[in-house]
Amino acid sequence: MSSPPPEAYAAALAGLEEMSLHRLGTLLRNHEPEQAWAVVLGKAPATGLIERVAVQPGVRAAWQRSAEARGPAQVWARCRQLGVEVMSHGGPRYPAALLDDRLAPPVLFAKGDLSLLGGRRVAMVGTRNATAAGRETARSIAGDLAMAGVHIVSGLARGIDGVAHRAVLAAEGEGRPVGIVASGLDVVYPREHSDLWAAVANCGLLLSEVPPGTRPDAYRFPLRNRIVAALSEVVVVVESRERGGSLITASEALERGVPLMAVPGPPSNRASGGTNNLLRDGAAPAIDALDVLTCLALKPFRSAFEVVDQRPRPRIGDIALYRELRLEPRTIDGVALACDLSLVEAAMGLARLEQAGWVAEADGWFECVGSPLR
Amino acid sequence: MLAAVRSATLLGVEGRPVTVEVHVATGLPAFQIVGLPDEACRESRDRVRAAVLSSGLLWPSCRVTVNLAPSNQRKGGSGLDLPIAIGFLAANGQIPVESIEGLGFVGELGLDGTMRRVPGIAPMVAAMQPSTPVVAAAGFREAQGVVGDGVKVGGTLREVVDALNVEAPWPHPPDEELVDEEPPPPDLADVRGQGAARLALEVAAAGGHHLLLVGPPGSGKTMLAQRIVGLLPPLAPEVSLQATMVHSAAGVRLPSGGLVRRAPFRAPHHSSSMVSLVGGGSATLRPGEISLAHGGVLFLDELGEFAPVVLDGLRQPLEEGVIRLARARASASLPARFLLVAATNPCPCGGGAPGSCECDDGARLRYLRRLSGPLLDRFDLRVGVARPGVDDLLAGGGGEPTVVVAQRVAAARQRSIDRIGMLNSAIPAGSIDALAPLHPEARVRLRDQLEAEKLTGRGYHRVRRVARTIADLEGAGDLVLDEHVVLALQLRVRLSVTSRDRAA
């Protein structure tokens, strides 16, 4: 049997238990991958800082145990089978955007079109539990950006992440989805996104820093967020609670000097607490795709004439309903009471507004969606 | 030395006639009961002997054999105490055998000879017809509700024996004053705001549409559900009789008239077992909550907390209106035609306005998955109930009282019964075009909904039936208008997991 290529050793190293970003980085900086594998197995002397780690009995035992369970040949075979490409830091195919990053992943696993990382890239992230309005915003911004040829980077999580990527796929523009995931590329999480994973890998790019088969452990998600930030030219946070995970992506972006934008929301909406705080702290507001394109310098300035609302303008009577709903989401009872209408009149008005796409309903609550009525 | 006494036992909600044959002979003193008695029945040996002796009657040393015919059926319960005692006394010559002809006896005996009421008097008395029933005084109303006048009562064994010996008249039945009037059901006027939910209650009552209330804790789901019984008309005579049989068989207290006339309201707790809900048990097949709710409302609060198996057990009775229970020894079919009203939170944290819920999509999905699709599908009406705001409490005002709404409901029910002989929820999918023709505008609206995949094929028929009921409530004539369809669509809230990324 021919011996596996150096990338196979690097891939196997990335999948070891007790292997951290720093340990892997140090190992691969000081040794060739094949030699590093020998160090891990205890068959070669360690040099540099890794010496201190490698002598810790717990770490050594875990490395050896998992190295014996899954060697380079097996990892390599699995990657070939899945069509996953393995790149080491400094290798010819390694994304240039990550090369100078302080916490650049030493090994990357990719499936899809790597050339996308040479295009314009915007990250869209947000809460896993978004309001209907937040979803609609994510959908329209991501769709419009994709039509303008911008690739959308996101984490493939539930909520905003998933909506943004679905919108990119639906838009069928030049822009493509780039998904950064925390688990191995064959471990779909969350499970209901399995169709989305496949679509992103087919039409765009899927990236992970761990080899196939790695579980989606909770600590991997914040680490994944740093790659999202590092790969993007602009990070847009659509909705986030005051302690939401998307704020990690936001602070990673700030650390790297990546421009940060946030979608404003009503103060009463807790799902917008985090984004509103970002705005107060100086993030740029992103109301629609044009704002993001301006930030990318793809548009010289905002022009009010460019946005043409396709939706039919509501009747005079329904505008009062719409204005009430702009203040806060309401139930049909709430609308009837606020506008002093009968239940039938309110229902008819809401049905017309919903039909035209001005409001959306979920769980009996009506919310305004899309750009506001001018 | 032989006597035969007519009596009955209970299986499910039906009485089964039983002839108690008592043979008294000389020989070694013994007291034997044959004919498949259960434990409570076999113990009646001791009760009967004590009761006879305490009543100042004689129990000579002799061999007593009691046969419960037909002897291949299981007999349960303590209701056979009285017939066994009467049979013994007749066979023994202490009362004339002719005097018990044309009479049927049911009752439990205390050791001192007092007669006690047993569950299921109504169905057992019905099974003994045409014999004149003799029951404990406490069971008089129940028996009278079924057979009308002519029920004889006794307070103690001695009173019955004296009456049979024509030494004393039959005791008087208890007076009307003993019983208290049922309190009226809670009134709809107490509910503030909640226009959509009120409308849903009205539609549910008028069309027999099952109703699901979705809303955060404290939004008044239970309060609303309790008010639906007041909207239902009094039970039709045959339904009233069936409900009475069920209540009697389950040992539930009957109203003063002896008949269940008002629609029952049953609200079992979510820890209820399958058997307690659908009925069962090995010997008597006791009716469950769904049968007790026959003709009325079964309210399941916190629907998601019920065991999934229990909920799926409801599907067949919901479809057929009866529950057929089969056990190794017996089988019975119990009536169970009820209006299902259920309440659930939208998600584990209770939810509320958009943006205030703390659950992620996965948690919501898991929560709603507990309600199986086929069960959710049976709710024609799914209404979101929000916590009333301050405005609602101050400005909403008490809405219409129950009396007014109940009149509209009764009129709408009459319209649908005149049209098709049943309630609108039972319109077959095939004849819906004939019975609920759509105005062209309404047709376009439903087409749009179907094309936008906001409505499934099954949902489409359900919306049309609900729209038919709304039109009937308005007295709008035969054509179903656009506004009726719009309201029907509003009363069918999309539960968010289904609505968000995929179509409903």
List, for residues A313-353, the tens digit of each pLDDT value.
Answer: 888 888 889 988 888 888 888 888 888 888 889 999 999 99
**Cβ-defined contact of B499 to A332 (cutoff 8 Å):** no
Question: How many percent of chain B have pLDDT more than 90?
Answer: 37
Query: Is A271's pLDDT higher than 80?
Result: yes
For range A36-60, the mean pLDDT = 78
What per-residue confidence (pLDDT) applies to B297? 94
Closest residue in chain A to residue B384, using alpha carbons only: A364
Question: How many percent of chain A have pLDDT more than 70?
Answer: 96
A199 at the B interface (CB within 8 A)? no
For range B69-76, the mean pLDDT = 84
Q: How do residues A193-252 score in pLDDT, each as one tens digit?
A: 999 999 999 999 999 999 999 999 999 999 999 999 999 999 999 999 998 889 999 999
For chain A, the structural domain boundaries read 6-82, 114-298, 316-368
What per-residue confidence (pLDDT) applies to B498? 41
**Cβ-defined contact of A329 to B501 (cutoff 8 Å):** no
A119 at the B interface (CB within 8 A)? no
Query: Is B96's pLDDT higher than 90?
Result: yes
Interface of B with A in 101-140 (CB under 8 A): none
* Amino acid identity at B110: G
How many other CB atoms are there within 10 angstroms of residue A220's CB atom?
18
Could you tell me which residues are beta bridge partners of residue B381? B211
In degrees, rounded to 5, the angle at the alpha carbon of residue B418 between the alpha carbons of residues B415 and B421 is 115
B478 — pLDDT class (breaks 50, 70, 90): confident
Interface residue of A333, A341, A344 to substitute, partner B, most B CBs within 10 Å: A333
B343 at the A interface (CB within 8 A)? no
Give the distance from CA B225 to its chain's centroid: 17
B356 — pLDDT class (breaks 50, 70, 90): confident
Rounded distance between C-alpha atoms, residue B475 and residue A213, angstroms: 65
What per-residue confidence (pLDDT) applies to A307? 54
B445 at the A interface (CB within 8 A)? yes
What kind of fold does domain A316-368 have according to CATH?
Answer: Arc Repressor Mutant, subunit A (1.10.10)
A23 — pLDDT class (breaks 50, 70, 90): confident
Query: HSE-up of B404 (CA within 13 Å, CB side)?
Result: 8
Q: Which residues of A touch B364 (CB under 8 A)?
A: 129
Based on its alpha-carbon atoms, the radius of gyration of chain A, rounded to whole angstroms, reads 24
A244 at the B interface (CB within 8 A)? no
Whether B283 and B256 have beta carbons less than 8 Å apart is answered as no
Rounded distance between C-alpha atoms, residue B336 and residue B298, angstroms: 10
A337 closest CB neighbour out of B193, B346, B482: B193
Query: Is A1's pLDDT higher than 60?
Result: no
Interface residue of B201, B213, B361 to substitute, partner A, most A CBs within 10 Å: B361
* Amino acid identity at B363: A
B393 — pLDDT class (breaks 50, 70, 90): low
Alpha helices in B299-431 (DSSP H): 308-312, 315-320, 361-369, 373-376, 390-391, 402-420
Q: How do residues B186-238 score in pLDDT, each as one tens digit?
A: 888 888 778 889 999 999 999 999 999 988 888 888 889 999 999 999 998 88
B362 closest CB neighbour out of A190, A328, A351: A190
Q: What is the DSSP letter of A282?
A: T
Chain A nearest CA to B202, separation (Å)? 14
A163 at the B interface (CB within 8 A)? yes
E-assigned strand segments in A80-210: 85-88, 107-112, 121-125, 151-154, 177-180, 205-208
- Does residue A268 or residue B359 have the better pLDDT? A268
How many other CB atoms are there within 10 angstroms of residue B170's CB atom?
14
Chain B nearest CA to A218, separation (Å)? 15
Assign B92 to helix, strand or coil: coil
A333 closest CB neighbour out of B195, B486, B493: B195
Query: Is B156's pLDDT higher than 70?
Result: yes
A343 at the B interface (CB within 8 A)? yes
B117 — pLDDT class (breaks 50, 70, 90): confident
Query: Is B243's pLDDT higher than 80?
Result: yes
Interface residue of A335, A363, A367, A369 to substitute, partner B, most B CBs within 10 Å: A363
Q: Helices (H), strands (E): how many in chain A?
A: 17, 12
Kindly report the backbone phi and psi dihedral angles of residue B381, in degrees, each rounded to the nearest multiple of 5, phi listed first: -115, 125
What per-residue confidence (pLDDT) applies to B392? 64
Could you tell me which residues are beta bridge partners of residue A177? A152
Chain A nearest CA to B472, separation (Å)? 15
A51-87 exposure pattern, b = at least 16 Cβ within 10 A, e = fewer? eebbeeeebbeebeebbeeebbebbbebbeebebbbb
B391 — pLDDT class (breaks 50, 70, 90): low
Rounded distance between C-alpha atoms, residue B190 and residue B174, angstroms: 38
B360 closest CB neighbour out of A129, A347, A361: A129
Query: Is B303's pLDDT higher than 70?
Result: yes
What per-residue confidence (pLDDT) applies to A109? 95
Interface of B with A in 346-365 (CB under 8 A): 346, 351, 353-362, 364-365
Q: Which residues of B touch A133 (CB under 8 A)?
A: 354
The two structure tokens encoding residue A22? 């720093």
**Cβ-defined contact of A270 to B445 (cutoff 8 Å):** no
Closest residue in chain A to residue B488, using alpha carbons only: A347
Could you tell me which residues are beta bridge partners of residue B297? B265, B339
What per-residue confidence (pLDDT) applies to A372? 77
A274 at the B interface (CB within 8 A)? no
What per-residue confidence (pLDDT) applies to B292? 93
B412 at the A interface (CB within 8 A)? no
Sequence-distant (≥ 6) Cβ neighbours of residue B340 within 8 angstroms: B210, B211, B297, B298, B300, B314, B318, B378, B379
What kind of fold does domain A114-298 have according to CATH?
Answer: Rossmann fold (3.40.50)
A334 closest CB neighbour out of B214, B389, B448: B389
As a whole number, the mean pLDDT across chain B is: 86
B325 — pLDDT class (breaks 50, 70, 90): confident
What per-residue confidence (pLDDT) applies to A300? 66
Rounded distance between C-alpha atoms, residue B401 and residue A319, angstroms: 33
**Cβ-defined contact of A363 to B496 (cutoff 8 Å):** yes
What per-residue confidence (pLDDT) applies to B502? 36
The two structure tokens encoding residue B168? 């004393």
Q: Helices (H), strands (E): how many in chain B?
A: 22, 18
Closest residue in chain A to residue B347, using alpha carbons only: A363
What per-residue confidence (pLDDT) applies to A201? 93
**Cβ-defined contact of A337 to B494 (cutoff 8 Å):** no
ipTM: 0.72
Query: Is B38's pLDDT higher than 80?
Result: yes
Q: Which residues of B touch A367 (CB under 8 A)?
A: 354
What per-residue confidence (pLDDT) applies to B396? 53
Query: Is B180's pLDDT higher than 70?
Result: no
What per-residue confidence (pLDDT) applies to A2? 63
For range B284-299, the mean pLDDT = 90
Closest residue in chain A to residue B492, using alpha carbons only: A364
Q: How do residues A85-127 score in pLDDT, each as one tens digit?
A: 999 988 889 998 898 888 999 999 999 999 999 899 999 999 9
For range A258-274, the mean pLDDT = 91
Interface residue of B357, B454, B500 to substitute, partner A, most A CBs within 10 Å: B500
For range B146-173, the mean pLDDT = 89
Whether B426 and B252 have beta carbons less than 8 Å apart is answered as no
As a whole number, the mean pLDDT across chain A is: 88
Exposure of B291 by Cβ count < 10 A (0-12 exposed, 13-18 middle, 19+ buried)? buried
The two structure tokens encoding residue B211? 């109703």
